[in-house]
Structure formats: structure tokens, C-alpha cells
Structure 1
């Protein structure tokens, strides 16, 4: 006789109220008066929940339906946590969430209470991957307590994944009030810790007590979105939450008159650093300005901290495309540093690097190389040849030589940079990604397309798990992949990558950033190659107008836009119009790059070609 099929329970969507949570917390304190503050969620499960429900073989909420039904309701908040959390912290965060929202209508789904803990370990894997996952949608709001533990536990990542992969589910992240001050302290001490924490979040490294559980979770992830997308989604949520917290801290400090202005200045600068690192440079500049004003007010115009604030503001302005004001800030910083700490100092070298970057943005590559070489000499003497700062300067030198058309020398600098970064930073760090990207760019220029794609994909994979998709640097890599595919005449894939790049840039940089113009140019040239001339001209004209308004007509990138429109007119038989644009492009190239630069030679060639054909 065949055995009857075993029926497994549907997910119980009953939730507990804030009133119950308060009474349960009192219950724990009275039951375990000496060590209640040390008990984890797992301890409470084993010592209190299971003993009270074992005889009835039921969930804790089933007992509450008889004893305290008024404390229950349909769950509308799903709580993700780690079993090693202290139960007092878990309940505290739930109560704080209820107080900040609507306590009377908040009902929490917490597995400790809602699942039958007597049989939870015996439920089959398909229950967790189907019934459990689908039921989160009916709850509709997933609340996650934030600290490093859950992001290293496979079950917590699974619960987050179940929420993020369902339509109509909103994820909130809650930090206990007592720990917000610890986060604030961490940001004040070292803002890079925030990015480092996100870098370490990798779902494929998550752990779990039960090996079978891990296999089920990993298989479900691999069969659906995959680890790269899961990491990206989790980090995007964490990044947004973190930036919101940083802004909250600063705004709170501004309202509290009793807060020391030095603390406010430091907090503004730390907040700016985090915002800038995550690509929110416009918002970062606002906080850097506030920090600079406070530094000048409290420390004066000749203090080293004031110099640092000038440098921070300059970096944000540079990222926003405001090169001239950025250079003024960097020069102010350099003047203070030379007077206070001297020329042979790592901070002075860093400012020289910043000035080199601004010169590069202006198209003055020879001056940029001089700044970089001066900085590199100081860094190697003071910090050593294998220091990460020296690697960054080597990277910048490679970029400057690339812009001059010396690709072999650029690759030499980039490889030297990568040799330093890999052992120092590892293979999953944004700066390592940059090194891969730069090498890929030079390989593309040399016509080594397949190798270039490999380097760009290595870069993109790192960026998706560290910076996230919604970041300007990630957008840049999509752009670079588009350029390679275009060079291979794979125009459909090129347009796909260019459009992805443009969409990210518009969301992260705004509509007037110089990089948007580059994306317009790239889309225009690819559509032109596909003979979609009207759409191509539309993008080219958008690019040209933006370039002129941001960097002026006498700039290499503006000249590229002029050249592109000339080529389009030439392709459609409008040779006189083409000739006009070639003349403007040639003037700009000669003024910025010189007569022997490949771009100048190309413009001259096209001009001669249309002049001959116009006769």
C-alpha cells in the first residue's frame, strides 16, 4: 500500500502587535532576570518558545489566539533577522519601527512566533523556495535590521531576496536607536568603512548552520536571478539606506545648537565623502561647502583641516564637471599645504594629483603629466613605490598618456598600477576595477577587441558587487563595452550598452553633466553606422550643445562632436555643411592637442576631402 502524501502547512501570515512585543519583552526579563540581555533569538526559541508549545505542537501565535487574540492581526511587516541576534535588540528595533510608523496598524511576522518551531527544521526545501517565498508578497513589507551579521547569513539573504524579487514588496532597514550613535561615530572616524562594509557583502559567501539549507538557497538564487544581481539588489538597498542615514545625522547636528561646530564640520565632510564615493557628487558638494565654511570660521584660512575641506570640495566639483572652480579649490589647498606641511608630504602630493586631474579634464595633458610626475616622486619617496596612492598616480599618468595617443606607454603605467593594487586591495575592489577598465580602453585603441571586452567585463563584475548598477563608474563601463562592440560592428549590442549607460547617467548625474554629452555622441555615431541618420543627428546636436555649454568650443571633446556632425553631413551628401564643422573641429584640435595629434590629423584629412569634393 502506498503511503499517503504528506501535507505541508501554508505560511501562517498572522502578525504580532507592538503591545504583544512589549509584554513578551517583560516576560523574558521576569523569566531570565539575570541574563535576559545576553539571550539570542535562538536561546529564547530553545529555552522558552519550544518548551511552551511542545505539548500542543503548534506555533506561539496559535497559543496567543486563545490567550491574547487582541494582540494579533494579519501580518503586514515581515522581519528578517539572524538567530544570533540578541532578542532584546530585535524587539527594540521592531518597537522603534512601530513608533515611527503606525503602532496600531503594525503587525510583525517574525519566524520565532509565527512558525511552529517544533517542526520548522523538518519542513522540506521546496516549502521554503515556493510557499515561503510567495507568501512574502501577501505581507508586502519586509523590514531588515541592519548590521553586518545578516548579510553574512544565507537565510537572511534568502529572505531579502524573497522580498526584492516580488512585485509590491517594500524593503525597510531598521537600526536600533542605541546603535545609531555607533554608526554616527564610525562615520566620524572613518567614512570609508561604509564602502568597505558593502564591498564585503557577497551572497555566495554566506553561511548557514544546515548544509542542506545552504544548498537549497544557493540553488534557488542561481536558478532565478543569480548571485551578481542579488548582490547588486542587496547593496543598492543598503547603499540607499546608508546615505539616507548619513544625511539624517548631518541635518540633526545642524538643528542641535549645542553640537560643537567642529563636530558639525567633521560630520559634513564625512557625509560628503560617502555621498561622493557613491556617485552623489552634487549633494556631496553641498555638504563640503558647509564643512569648509565651518572650518574657515573656527580654524581660519591657513589650517590643514581647511586645506582638506578645499580638496574635498574640489573633488566633488570636478566630478560635477565644474573644472575651473575645482582647480581654484585645489590651488587654495596646495597653497595652505606648502605653507603648513611643506612640499615633501603625502597630502601635498595628493593635491598635485587633483590638479593633474583637472588639467586632464581641460585637455591640458602635458601640464597634467607634470603634476602627476611631481606627485609620484613625492609619494615614492615618502610612502614607498608599492603604496596605493602611488598606484593611483600611475593610473592617472596612464590616462594622460592615453589622451595624448601614446597607448603603449599608457598600458605600461596601467599594468604597473594593477600589480600594486591586486595584492593590496584584492580582486573585488572598485580601484582594481578601474585598473582593468583602463587596460581595456588601451587594448581597444590598439584593436585587441576580444581582450578589451574581457578586461571591461572583469571591471563590470567588480563594480556591480561593490558600487552597484546605479553608479556613474558602472555606467562608464557599459559605455566602454559599447565602444568595443561598435568597433567590432556589433551595433545592436553597442546601442544596448550605450543606452544602459545613458539611463544610469541621467539618474545619477543629472541632465547637464559633461558625460551625458559623451553618451549622446556615442549613440549618434552608432546610429549613423546603422544608417539611422535622423536619430543620429538628434543625438549629435544634443552632445554638441552640452559640450559647448560645459567646456567651451576649444576643447578636444567638443571638437569630437563637431567632427561627428561633419561626418554625418558628409555621409548624407551635405558636403558644404560638413566642411563648416570640420573647420571648427580642426581649430579646436590644433589649439588643444597640437598639429601632430592623431585627432588633428584626422580632422585635417576630412576637411581636405570635403574641400576637394566641393570644388
Structure 2
């Protein structure tokens, strides 16, 4: 019942359709419709409500005299200075935290009344209308361990930047707005209501961010909850810093935007803390039953990210077109690139690069922007444009700095990563090996860049099937990483992850399991633990070790249900994995029951993840299909496609999977026209989603071309095959295996059309290139 009321209040707040509540002053749509905490807020007697509505000022006075009633009264920012002077000036408060100021100055000041300072000042005034305590418009989110004077300095700096008059800027600051004499006696419902009501009624949240590179509020459960509340209530979110912190922050924005993505990416609400463990437990229960930890982390990340984007846009618009203006645009473009917002990032970065190259073609800033644009193109799949810029950047930096300068080696590593993404393994290996020799010569083995280069080379070996060589590199570098960074450092964990996949490829499953369990040991109790246990279960499943795989899937599912809830995509991923194990161990009925119930629960949850629901439906359909139950298979796939209306992305990958699988189902049932329409739709969707040159698009084109051939529509098949071949040539070059396979496929279609003179040169080219790559005997066997 306790949790149901919390959920009910949050829902009421979002809908904003409740009657007058116990927020004294301000918006009358606040949640918790009762005047006192000792009155059931869901069943407040009407006569009590009416008795306080006849005289608003008297009602407010009576309510504020009750320390258990929440008021949105705050103090003018200018009055903070009055209090500081009253308490002995800045020298007396220097170095004191907000907690210490509360104990030494605030509590003695309000001890007799037992009220908040705002209530005390309001009730002391002869005329409440002229009281210094007024309805607040700015809610302050802060950590009590902050230095009190730093908080005040941040607020005055914020007011100056936004042209706010301190005399009329009314601040809701819990030190002053809440009674500090009975905080431990309040139940969680009161505190949860305080936050939600305050944020909704006040309308603006200012988070004091300190230090900017490791913000304390992002580790405090109440501060994270306040970010959540600002989103739920659609309040404006702001950030304030001291002048010194802001100057350092702006300098880092221009020089190292990557750091901010790392800081925000490390937000983990499940690890947040509170001085009162019961508060933490109660908030965690609300998070589990509403938004979920992963979604809350994402929301905090997105909220602060949007604030950074807004801050950069403000700096761009407030600066005249000059070098500084370009730097802000470049910083914004790179921040958007790091967040995957490539469409927004491209015009900014290309504009900055074009102007810089025109004015200062060989300056370090120009070459850095060239590298940034090359990385952006690489992420967008514009490999030709990316390679040209990477090559130019390497050449220019070599001229400027010399061949062994670290920045030159970084550029070479970026180019090698491009070659890896194109599967140009020989080029990637040559460049990475050269860079590794340089790093070893310049910096030695115990260097972050050297170890990164070793890891990249190991991945290249792994991709080529050279697992023993990859294993050697990873084992050697892993020990160094542990010594340098510890076992829980991200780079160590990444190396462990890669090593586990290499062990799997070598058939060393016991070693792989040991490595994965070592990786997960530091994450017990967190979502990352469940993630890694899930991955271990997948590994064991693929190696047909079903009994142990089932144990780990069940453990991962249990953890994800607890942390994420029934509607989360990762929870359903564990459901899917467990269902596959059950099917593989002749328990298909149990698998279908598990999937059906999980899908139903997810659809009915408060935050359903529809792409994941579609994925689970696809798994359920595949089980029906494996049993030969084509009617049920079709119905479930059609149900998947019905979910399309619930998706923001109509071309979500799971929808395309359903379309593709249903097309094959129709093809096997001789429903050729239905199959053809779906195969064509898959190609169109893949092109819209991924582009014409993506491997998944090219695979969809292959399926369509084969279907055209089966139907005898060879002319249409030729058109698709030619387009596919050109894409492979542009993407991978003429000698790559997929290119040669596409060339062979086109030759076969031309042969079937009796166009032997067109088919013959294609077959000859394929044979010649395969002889060159593989040798004469192997090439003939593959043709």
C-alpha cells in the first residue's frame, strides 16, 4: 500500500489534475491533496479543506506553523548576504560546509520555534505580504558537503549571468525552506512529496555542479532524484558554478570535450548514496517501480548533455565571428559527434574545418578539426571521404611534428581503425604494427597508448582467425593493465572481454568463463553484473553448454527484473536467451509460456520498451516455426509488425527482422507475391535506416535477388545484383571476398539470361583475383 500511494502521487503529478494540495503558495495543482501530514492525503475531509480556504493568509500562517507542512516559501538571494553578515561575515563561515553552517548557525537561530527559517520570518512579520519570505521561483539542488560560501557564490554568479536581480530572485534552499529540527522524523512520503511539489510549483531547478569534472550531486541519490523530478514536472533545468569553476569548465569545453561525455557516462544511480540509508532505500523502491535505474541514468545523462549543448550554443551566439567563435562551434560539433548526433554535428564541424583550412591550412587547430571530421565521416560510413582526410592529416602532421610525434601516431591509429571497420585487415595490421613499434620505442610498454595499440592489433588478429597470436598479446597486456590501472579500470575490463571471446574461439571455454567471472566480480549487485552474466550465458549457449547457460540466464534475469523491471529491453533479452536454452533442451512449451507471460507483462508495464517486445515476439515466432506451426508463426510475426505504431523509429531493426522472417515464411509457403513485397520492403527499410552501402542492406538485396531468380524474374535480379556489386566495390574494394561473391552472383544471373559474353569476363575476373589471393587450386574449388 505504501508503494502504491507513492506511484499514485507520481502519476497524479504527471497528469496535473488534482485539486488544491498542501503546497502553501504557488501552483494549486501540486500532488498530495491534504493540508497536514497527519491527515490522510488521499482522504482529506472536505470540512478541513474548507476551513482553511476562507482566508488564504490565515490558512498559510496556520499551515506554516506546522513544521510537517511543506511550503514553497523561499528567501531573496540578497538576503543570503544579510544572513552571512549576521553570522559573523565570510571569515566566520570560510571553509564550513552547508551541514556545518546548519548546526552552528541555522539551528540555534530557529531552535525556539522549531520551524524553518522561512516560516519563522514569515510568521514574525506584522504584514505577511511584505515579509522577506516569499514564493520561490528557483529550486536549488546541491550537496550538503559543499562549502556553503561556494554555493552562495555560485548562485550570485548565476544571477549575474542571467541578469537576475538578487533582491527579487526568490530561492528555495532546503537549509532555509525546510525545518531542520525534525528531518529525521518525517516519513518518506513527506520527503518525496516535498521534492515533487517544490519542483512542480517552483518551475526552475538550479543544480550546483562542483567539481565539474567529478560532480558530487551525481553521486547523491536526492540530487539524482531531483533531476528526475525536474523532467517529470517539465521544469527548467539550470546549472550554477563558482566563477573559478566555470572558467576551468569553459577552458576544458574548448580543449577536451571528450572528458564531459566520460563524466556523464559514468553516472550510475544505483551507486548513489544518502546520509540516511532509509531515504536511499525508499527512493530506490520508487525508481524500480517507475522509471528504472538504467532509464534514470539515461535521463540524467540526457538532461545534463542538453544543458551542455545549450551552454555551448549560448557561447556561440554571444561571441563575434572570430577564432573563439570557431572553437565553440568545434566544441559543440565534437560533443554532438560523441553523442551519436551525427546529422547535427556534421554542418558545425565541416564549417569550422573549411574556415580554418582557408585561413590557417597547417595550424594544429586546423589539423585537429580535420581529424575530427574524418572520425565523423568514419562513424557515418563515409569511408572514402574519411580515408582521404585521415591520410592528409597523417601527412600534414608528419611534416609539422616529425614521424614519431605522439600526435602523428594517434592519427595513424585512427586511420588503422578506419581500415578495421572496412575489414581491410592487411592495411590495418601494417599500420597498427608500425605504430606499436613507435610507441614501444618512445613510451615503452607501460603506456596507455602502447597498450591501446596492442589491443587493436589483437583485435585485428582475432578478426583474421589468428587467435593464438591475439591471445598472446592480450594476456601480456592484461597483466600490465592490472598493475597500472587496477582490476576495475574500464581498459582492464575491455581487455578481459576481448580475451574471453578469443578463448571462446580457441575452444578454451573454462578459461573464458574464468575471465568473464573475474570481470563481473567487481559489479555484483549492479546492472553491469547482470549484463556480463548475461553475456557469459550467451557464450555458453553458443558452445552448447546448456545446463550452465541456463543457470546464468536465470541469474541475469533475476538481477535485471530487480534493477530494471519487467518492461526493460535488457530484461527481455535475458528472457529471450533463457527461452532459447529451454527450446534447445526440448522444453519448447516452457519457453513459449515464459515468452508469452514476459511479453504480456512488458506491454502492461509503466515503461514498455517496444523494440525489445518486438524482439521477444520474433523469438516466440521462431519457436513456433521450428515446430512447423506456420499459422501461429505468421500470427506472431504480424503481431510484431502491429507494434510498429508504438515505435518512434518505424524502421527499427527488430521490425525489419520480423519483415524479413515473414518474407522467408511466405516464400517457403509458396506465397511468392507476399514474399516479394516484404523482401522489397526490407531493402527499402535497410536503405533508409543504414544506407545503401551497409552490409545489412547488401544482405537484404541478396535475398531479394535470389527471390527474383526463383520466380524467373532475371532482369530484375540483374538490376539488384549490379547495384549490390558496385556497393561492395566502393565499400571494400575489388579483391575482397564479399565483392567477389557479388560478382559471381551477377555472373550467374547473366549466364541464366544466356548472355554468355557478359558473364564470362566476370567469372574470369573472379578466378584471377582468387588465384592471386588464395592460390590456383583453392581458387578453382571456390568458383
The corresponding residue for 1:115 is 178
C-alpha change, 1:544 and 1:7, in structure 2 (3 Å) is closer
Write the distance in 2 (CA, Å) between the matches of 1:607 and 1:548: 25
Write the distance in 2 (CA, Å) between the matches of 1:364 and 1:351: 17
C-alpha change, 1:354 and 1:241, in structure 2 (3 Å) is same
* Alignment of 1:54 onto 2:111: yes
The corresponding residue for 1:355 is 415
The corresponding residue for 2:637 is none
Cα drift, residue 537 of structure 1: 2.6
Any idea what the Cα deviations from partners look like across 1:157-203, whole Å, max 9, x if unmatched? 34334444x35444333334553222113334544432343344333
Write the distance in 2 (CA, Å) between the matches of 1:459 and 1:577: 50
* Alignment of 1:327 onto 2:376: no
Which among 201, 210, 218 is matched to residue 151 of structure 1?
218
Write the distance in 2 (CA, Å) between the matches of 1:355 and 1:399: 15
The corresponding residue for 1:16 is 74
C-alpha change, 1:143 and 1:410, in structure 2 (3 Å) is farther
Higher mean alpha-carbon deviation, 92-101 vs 61-70, is at 92-101
Which among 260, 270, 278 is matched to residue 194 of structure 1?
260
* Alignment of 1:336 onto 2:479: no
Write the distance in 2 (CA, Å) between the matches of 1:303 and 1:6: 66
Write the distance in 2 (CA, Å) between the matches of 1:143 and 1:199: 21
Cα drift, residue 568 of structure 1: 5.0
SS in 1 for 2:206: strand
Any idea what the Cα deviations from partners look like across 1:260-292, whole Å, max 9, x if unmatched? x4x666666555544433334455555545665
Write the distance in 2 (CA, Å) between the matches of 1:588 and 1:264: 39
Extract unaligned runs of 5+ from structure 1.
463-476
Which among 141, 150, 165 is matched to residue 80 of structure 1?
141
SS in 1 for 2:681: helix
SS in 1 for 2:139: strand
* Alignment of 1:597 onto 2:737: yes
Cα drift, residue 12 of structure 1: 1.4
SS in 1 for 2:237: strand
Cα drift, residue 56 of structure 1: 1.8
C-alpha change, 1:538 and 1:375, in structure 2 (3 Å) is same
Is the Cα contact below 8 Å between 2:337 and 2:345 reproduced in 1?
A: yes
Which among 27, 33, 38 is matched to residue 7 of structure 1?
38
Write the distance in 2 (CA, Å) between the matches of 1:362 and 1:53: 69
Trace 1:118-129 onto structure 2 (pairs within 5 A).
Answer: 118-129=181-192
C-alpha change, 1:345 and 1:191, in structure 2 (3 Å) is same
SS in 2 for 1:35: helix
Cα drift, residue 106 of structure 1: 5.9
C-alpha change, 1:361 and 1:546, in structure 2 (3 Å) is farther
Is the Cα contact below 8 Å between 1:520 and 1:540 reproduced in 2?
A: no
Write the distance in 1 (CA, Å) between the matches of 2:320 and 2:503: 47
Trace 1:226-265 onto structure 2 (pairs within 5 A).
Answer: 226-254=292-320, 261=323
C-alpha change, 1:58 and 1:558, in structure 2 (3 Å) is closer
Cα drift, residue 353 of structure 1: 2.4
Using structure 1 for the length normalisation, give the TM-score. 0.72
Is the Cα contact below 8 Å between 1:352 and 1:374 reproduced in 2?
A: no
Is the Cα contact below 8 Å between 2:157 and 2:242 reproduced in 1?
A: yes
C-alpha change, 1:524 and 1:416, in structure 2 (3 Å) is farther
The corresponding residue for 2:101 is 44
Trace 1:361-380 onto structure 2 (pairs within 5 A).
Answer: 364-380=424-440
Using structure 2 for the length normalisation, give the TM-score. 0.58
Is the Cα contact below 8 Å between 1:495 and 1:526 reproduced in 2?
A: no
Q: How many equivalent pairs are there?
A: 566
Higher mean alpha-carbon deviation, 412-421 vs 103-112, is at 412-421
Write the distance in 2 (CA, Å) between the matches of 1:82 and 1:548: 47
Write the distance in 1 (CA, Å) between the matches of 2:144 and 2:337: 35
Is the Cα contact below 8 Å between 2:139 and 2:205 reproduced in 1?
A: yes
Write the distance in 1 (CA, Å) between the matches of 2:297 and 2:691: 39
Any idea what the Cα deviations from partners look like across 1:24-63, whole Å, max 9, x if unmatched? 3223224312334544332332233322322122222222
The corresponding residue for 1:465 is none
Write the distance in 1 (CA, Å) between the matches of 2:97 and 2:719: 75
Is the Cα contact below 8 Å between 1:264 and 1:291 reproduced in 2?
A: no
Is the Cα contact below 8 Å between 1:415 and 1:439 reproduced in 2?
A: no
Cα drift, residue 563 of structure 1: 0.9
Cα drift, residue 547 of structure 1: 7.0
Is the Cα contact below 8 Å between 1:392 and 1:417 reproduced in 2?
A: no
Write the distance in 2 (CA, Å) between the matches of 1:23 and 1:546: 56
C-alpha change, 1:172 and 1:399, in structure 2 (3 Å) is same
C-alpha change, 1:254 and 1:432, in structure 2 (3 Å) is farther
C-alpha change, 1:268 and 1:442, in structure 2 (3 Å) is farther
Extract unaligned runs of 5+ from structure 2.
1-35, 40-66, 521-526, 533-568, 584-594, 596-612, 620-639, 667-673, 755-783
Cα drift, residue 239 of structure 1: 2.1
The corresponding residue for 1:279 is 340
Which among 649, 661, 681 is matched to residue 538 of structure 1?
681
The corresponding residue for 1:181 is 247
Which among 705, 708, 722 is matched to residue 566 of structure 1?
705
Is the Cα contact below 8 Å between 1:578 and 1:610 reproduced in 2?
A: no
Larger Rg: 2
C-alpha change, 1:459 and 1:14, in structure 2 (3 Å) is closer
Write the distance in 2 (CA, Å) between the matches of 1:349 and 1:203: 38
Provide the alpha-carbon RMSD of the alignment.
Answer: 5.3
Is the Cα contact below 8 Å between 2:475 and 2:499 reproduced in 1?
A: no
Cα drift, residue 237 of structure 1: 1.6
Write the distance in 2 (CA, Å) between the matches of 1:94 and 1:496: 53
